[in-house]
A and B are shown apart, each in its own frame.
Chain A
């Protein structure tokens, strides 16, 4: 089946005053219709840059982006106008994503107006209902509603043009615990009802575990592991994936007392100067000499499970690596 959204060895470097940042280094990722793929990783891993590249909000340095089989890597703005309705984004901070001078109704209407859609007023009402907002909120301004309600507006706006793919960049990270569950439930039910494909960028692995069909772990510009949910949570193979899973705070005080030292010592390496060889070797508890100078190959552990790690080519360590979950 042709993936709906496909990134093929995409590369992007940002020029900064401190030097060149290799934000995304040869990333390939395919998103099928109707599936939710989570991109996880720590700050500076390139996950937000990858989202911007996929949406063509910024051009790639190398590689290809395909939407529904069509190469949009160098598509003109005009050609993109036809594609963008089908490829939408939800941002972390809805108050920054919404124009403070436009009402909620106008914010949802804007994409409909720009793309010349019919029956706009009725569509705005229907969208408000779909995201669980009262129709009376249409005349309010973003600052007049709660953070959870603002994020619902951001979601309604992203859905206005009936997209096939929604890229959501940390959509619930700024929300309070009690409201977060509401918005997570809304996103998963919308994805199911509309058959949406979703790229969910997040750092909270408990939320990711709840939402994602497939998980891709990024580290310093590369996807170091990708696997479907069942495999990932039971047999994550990359030491970095295992460390991320083990770093999640305990669910209960008893579990907290039973745990050992922090899974990783030291700091994230700078994306300005990624370490040679495997970019994770400076923090990897199981690094071997090869890791310091040789870039690890992509290992296929199952038809849909890949990881980049020298240890996985080593038969003895293979068994140890598959007992990743804490």
Chain B
């Protein structure tokens, strides 16, 4: 059963004296309980807008159409009190920069315990347990620590502890390892994988990094310029990507590993993102696509079943 259902979601930002910006256009997806869905895209793809919309954290200036249901509760248009209710036992979120997610003038223990029920002693014991869960053994000392005394990796673990304290049914992680050093990223990726397995977390992982996707995702949704272009199980996405953009993203990575070839040049995706105010009428990837036809420029491709999942392309399939 799907825990999260996003149906025909569109988000438009309107600013003073600026043309409206279509950040998300008719996005539909589901996440099953216990599943990890990776939302992949580059800057401007709308992936963070989608994450914020699901968490009910979108700026009120955004005009939102469509539906978001989390465990049967509607998010779009919900009253702030209803959203607050949803956050305990509903949705929790961790962000790229754990320092900005932590309050610099409150001790770690107080921040973890802040939203928990129970007596002070009970909450402190729960906070201590959570620190163990996220791999911080020296809990007694850490509960008294200030955020600035911790390393980046420890801060991200604390942010995870705070999120897990909500006993969320859905955890949204927005670029959770992007700001971390490589050896620390490796630790946090494994921690997230362990938490998924041990706690049965449902995880919505927002990332630009296909390596992070390979490490954690069960399924992948690829966003490009505000539209979903491909949705597939992670193995299928890596082995038989159907959309030219997905293929381009995978091919643009420098190969790595003991037997990886040394390439003279990397495969490029030419050009850049189209303007989204307003977006082009046809396929948004058309101007960068090697397979573009006249139809692509005029007629927006819809998501359709493909051999590997769903793809929005008039000319899908293996790289010619």
Contact = CB atoms under 8 A, between A and B. Distances in A.
B269 to A, nearest CB: 4
Contacts, number: 137
A263 interface: yes
Interface stretch (B63-71, B88-96, B164-172, B181-189): B181-189
A188 B266 CA distance: 10
Given A181-B269, A249-B212, A249-B214, A209 B256 contact: yes
Contacts of A206: 253-256
Interface stretch (A77-85, A117-125, A171-179, A302-310): A171-179
Interface stretch (A21-29, A48-56, A107-115, A254-262): A254-262
Contact of A249 (B42, B153, B211, B234): B211
Contacts of A283: 183
Interface of A is mostly: helix
Nearest to B273: A146
Interface string A158-198: 00000000000000000011111110110011000000000
Interface residues of A, number: 49
Interface residues of B, number: 49
B13 interface: no
Given A178-B248, A249-B214, A244 B254 contact: no
B211 A251 contact: yes
Nearest to A40: B182
B258 interface: yes
Contacts of B258: 233-234, 325-326
A217 to B, nearest CB: 12
Contacts of A317: none
A263 B186 contact: yes
Contacts of A253: 214, 217, 234-235, 238
Contacts of A184: 254, 266
Contacts of B183: 42, 243-244, 247, 262-264, 268, 283
Interface in A300-326: 325-326
B153 to A, nearest CB: 6
Nearest to B272: A146
B261 to A, nearest CB: 10
A254 to B, nearest CB: 7
B267 A247 contact: no
Contacts of A62: none
A267 B268 contact: no
Given A181-B269, A251-B214, A205 B182 contact: yes
Nearest to B42: A176
A185 B268 contact: yes
A250 B43 contact: no
Interface in A255-283: 255-256, 261-265, 267-268, 283
A165 B43 CA distance: 32
Contacts of A325: 258
Nearest to A189: B265
Given A176-B208, A179-B272, A248 B256 contact: yes
A207 to B, nearest CB: 6
5 smallest A-B Cβ distances: which pairs? A249-B211, A176-B42, A210-B254, A178-B269, A42-B181
